[in-house]
Amino acid sequence: MNQNHFIKEIEELKAYRKTRLDAAEKVVMNPSLLHPLLKMCYRFNDPLSSKACWVLEFVCDSDLSLIQPHLSLFIDNLQRFKLDSSIRPVAKICLMMVKDHFSKKPSVFRKELDGEQLEKITEACFDWLINDEKVAAKAYAIYCLYELGKKYDWVYPELKMILVQRIPDHSAAYKAAAGKILKKLNK
């Protein structure tokens, strides 16, 4: 598949899970399509960014190592994602990378994510948690921050304070994610 055809496919993509999976499979089978996909992700205020981020989430879920050559640029741009429907998959990708980094199993990202990159992910997650984002993005940020707290002592007290303060004002889904992490933090 050539890049122009792939770009057109993403532009016309519907939100159906199957169409996102099909597009992601094309990238996994032809990694040269990842670069144009990322370029679409980085059109931050364009709805096309959301469609590309949906596909990128499934690409990373299938083979997280594919984003490795683009890691610095991806992390450097975390704060620039503004659309709710882009932030949710980006937050999930951050969670995938951080969980892989701290995994006891052989890990792609244990050596790839340096301290500065982990700090940028931490900052982005706190921003998503504090700002007026959709609950799914907040939930991924909560889980990601819990993982990051294994490295940074200051994360757990900050996370706990934010969750306790904000839990009364949020939805049942937020309360479930926050409650699960608060229970772990209170052990």
**CA-CA distance, 111 to 113, in Å (whole number)?**
6
**Tokens found for residue 1:** 């598949």
125 assigned to some structural domain: yes
On whether residue 150 sits in a domain, the answer given is yes
pLDDT at 158: 97
Tokens standing for residue 43: 């059109």
| Token pair 């980006």 in the structure block, residue | 90
Sorting pLDDT into bands at 50, 70 and 90, what band is 107? confident
* Residue keyed to tokens 């083979």: 63
Rounded Cα–Cα distance for residues 96 and 90 (Å): 10
**Residue-number span of the structural domain to which 151 is assigned:** 92-187
The per-residue pLDDT for range 27-44, each reduced to its tens digit, is: 999 999 999 999 999 999
**CA 14, 93, 121: angle at the middle one, nearest 5?**
135
Share of the chain above pLDDT 70, in %: 99
The answer to whether residue 84 is domain-embedded is no
pLDDT at 69 exceeding the cut of 80: yes
Two tokens, residue 170 = 């949020």
Give the count of domains, the chain: 1
What pLDDT is attached to residue 39? 96
